Amino acid sequence: MYKDLENKSAKELEKMLSQERAKLYGLRMKLAVNQLKDVREARETRKMIANILTQLQKVNAEK
């Protein structure tokens, strides 16, 4: 999954980041009302956000 991020532009990464953050927000709301069945999904989403932020830092450092 992280390898896919290496070929993305900064604009694409920012779009993905906002989508993942929105997804995490929804997962947290579901968790709060006990509707979330797979709690691991929230952890995986947080890791994906971290990977996107790391790649975004690399892309911005290259400029």
pLDDT bucket at 62, cuts 50 / 70 / 90: confident
Domain boundaries along the sequence of the chain: 2-62
Helix or strand or coil: residue 24? helix
CA-based torsion, 7, 11, 14, 19: positive or negative: negative
Is 52 a residue whose pLDDT tops 90? yes
Mean pLDDT of 36-51: 94
